Structure 1
Amino acid sequence: MVSEEDLIRTVVTAYSNGWRQVKLYFMCGLPTETDEDVLQIARLAHEVIRAGRAATGSKDIRCTVSIGGFVPKPHTPFQWASMCSPEVIDGRLRKLKAEINSERSLGRAIGFRYHDGEPSLIEGLLSRGDRRVGAVIRRVWEEGGRFDGWSEHFSYQRWVDAAVAVLPAYGVDLDWYTTREREQAEVLPWDHLDSGLDKDWLWQDWQDSRSEYEQDDCRWTPCFDCGVCPSMDTEIQIGPTGRKLLPLTPVASAR
């Protein structure tokens, strides 16, 4: 896992070698996340600016925080996880923006880019939906939905209305697909597809993540028996080098 110290050392190396801006990517709405967890992003961004200024002796240092709503995906340990509601996501993003700007001298050097919670919820519907969601997609199209991947064309209300109109006939609703946590025994819509990962292993990894257990990288440790290597006829070729990879070593210019 990349630690905060690793990140600070790396951005200091970048700033010291002429870079003036870095971009940090985050997700909001992760399982077990609290408001305070999200506010720590502001503290980290402030530390990046402080470290960059200290390393260069210049205030011409910038950082961009880019953050979006977490969307659980199939064939990952989070395929059973519930999503946060758009209201929770948007509320945390507002608090984060305010916290970034709480120290004005630092906040002015930090850009803030984010994706609203509403598009993320619809992405979650499409990511983990079954064939019944096809009727919702058709209804959205019939109601004029086009190019909804572009914010200027996206209508959250159109998707909600389509779900309300179509899904009750199947005994489900939008929340059933998105903000509901799945049980281990539930048959998932993609279970008939084989990604190589063992489902029992994914479930255990999901439980480990909830208990904040840090999993090692299997390139440097014994096999965790996730199922990929034997089922995909894959052999891990990379082994420990004995070299410390962080912080990165600057490469001299060829000029």
Structure 2
Amino acid sequence: MDIFSLYLTNLESLNLDSCKIGDEGLANLTGLTLLKNLELSDTQVGSNGLCHLSGLIHLESLNLSFTSVTDSGLKRLSGLTSLRSLNLDVHNVTDAGLAVLTSLTKLTNLDLFGARISDSGTKSLRCFKNLQSLEICGGGLTDSGLQNIKDLVSLKLLSLSQNYDLSNKSLEMISGLTALVSLNVSNSQITNEGLHYLKPLKNLRSLSLESCMVTASEIKKLQMTALPNLVNYRPE
């Protein structure tokens, strides 16, 4: 029996961020069946190591950002149905990897910042009806992909920055996400003419449209006339 099984069987949270741990090291976690939070960001973990996590059925939060995880390993996470927060800011994760995770219906926070998700891949997002926070910033989305995001009505934070092909049509499609508190659509084709689509988002407090064809004066006008709760916006 390893040291974890002997002394740490009641552990609920473990932070290994930036530690020199790889796939073999994860074998030591198999006895930590009460774990709820696991940070593996910026480690040497890859897909092969994820098999050691499949028994951690009480996990609620898992961070795999900046690891070597690929699509092939993500199926081993499909049984972790207690997960509420999953960070897959990993360049080697694509549409195929997201598709094998649709059983994780309790997810409220999903970070796909650097993952290579396309319009087709966003179809998998329909399974995550409870999402409150979503980041997809890998550059693969067009307006068509927003068709699968516009009905995620529980979203409070939505970041779609660096998807250069998004246009004003995207703002029209997400105008029904009235729970939004934070919206980032920087580095896109959005213009001043599209700002009026944001008027229904009365709860919006933060808006980022940097490197778009949008002026600070028009955002200020929107704030004054329709979005009184907006306190942070870019450009300003």
Say yes or no: TM over 0.5. Answer: no
Larger radius of gyration: 1
Structure number having the greater helix percentage? 1
Higher RCO (CA-CA < 8 Å; seq separation 6+): 1
Q: TM-score, normalised by structure 2?
A: 0.28
